[in-house]
Amino acid sequence: MDGVAVEIGSYSGEVTRHLHDFDQIILPCAGRLDIEIGAQAGFVAGGVASYVAAGSEHAFMAQPSDMFIVLDAPAGMVRADLSPFFPVTPDMQGLIDFLAARGQASLAPAHKAAWAALALGSLARPCGPPDPQEIAVRKALAFMQERLADPIRVADIARAAGVSPSRLHEAFVRKRGTTPHARLVALRLDAATRLLAQTQLSLAEIAIRTGHGDQSALTRIMRRERQTTPGRLRRDLRDDGGIA
């Protein structure tokens, strides 16, 4: 391949085998991708990403409703010592959140190229092992993503992360500059924004799928947090080319 390509991809729900002559980075967006790279098996979800080096045979499976950001780059562009499974750093998570919220259809080619350059720059720095607080945050984020539509509480999230609610609150404030509840609210609104941009589902259905209960709750929270409404945002995205 001649340049870098970025897309938000989904899969068939069946095991697929690939072998390609370019490097590939798979970043978690929503759901879980089970993947086997050579003799190493693992997954992409929550705070874990994957690196598939050029020429590496790999098999993977994810459900059609799951989504991942796939970054393809010419062989040798990604640092060679990157592990097949590596932690998502806070700056990379910011890039993931941005692209997931905007949707690929709303980004011009130049913006995608800029995003890819930032992502590759982030990967150029060594990824050391995460500390206990970072591990707890990532477990919590993975749980939130998997249970986005469910009426989960902070206590449920803390239990999934293996820490107390107060410890989880402290970890989020230190590692993400926010609280678990605020991050859950943001994740749900990001998911609603993606569905508004990429589907023709009704506002009521989008509200249910993103854990808001009903359309009025989604409207109230989006107006409070994003200073807009689902209907207005969908119209804006349509005008900007976010809906086909």
pLDDT (tens digit, 9 = 90+) per residue, 45-87? Answer: 878 899 998 888 889 998 888 889 999 988 888 877 788 888 8
Tens of pLDDT, residues 91-135 = 898 899 888 887 766 677 888 888 988 998 888 766 555 578 877
Tens of pLDDT, residues 137-194 = 878 888 888 888 999 999 999 998 899 999 999 999 988 889 999 999 998 998 899 8
Q: Do residues 118 and 6 touch, judged by C-beta distance below 8 A?
A: no
User: Which residues in the chain belong to E strands, given as ranges?
Assistant: 5-9, 16-18, 22-30, 33-37, 40-44, 48-52, 58-61, 67-74, 85-87
Nearest in space to 10 (alpha carbons), one of 60, 59, 52? 60
Nearest in space to 92 (alpha carbons), one of 32, 157, 161, 44? 44
CA 156 to each of CA 48, 132, 159, 177: distance values in angstroms, whole numbers, following the listed order:
21, 19, 5, 21
pLDDT at 244: 41
More confident: 224 or 176: 224
The one-character DSSP state at 129 is: P
Alpha carbon 101 to its chain centroid, in Å, reads 9
pTM, 2 dp = 0.56
Tens of pLDDT, residues 171-186 = 999 888 899 999 999 9
**Given a cut of 60, is residue 209 above it in pLDDT?**
yes
CA dihedral 218, 221, 226, 229 (to 10 degrees): 40
Q: Which two tokens stand for residue 196?
A: 């508004």
Q: Do residues 107 and 194 touch, judged by C-beta distance below 8 A?
A: no
pLDDT at 65: 83
The one-character DSSP state at 125 is: S
Kind plus residue range of the DSSP H or E element containing 127 = none
Secondary structure class of 212 (helix, strand, coil)? coil
pLDDT at 1: 60
Distance, in Å, from the CA atom of 151 to the CA atom of 107, rounded to the nearest integer, reads 32
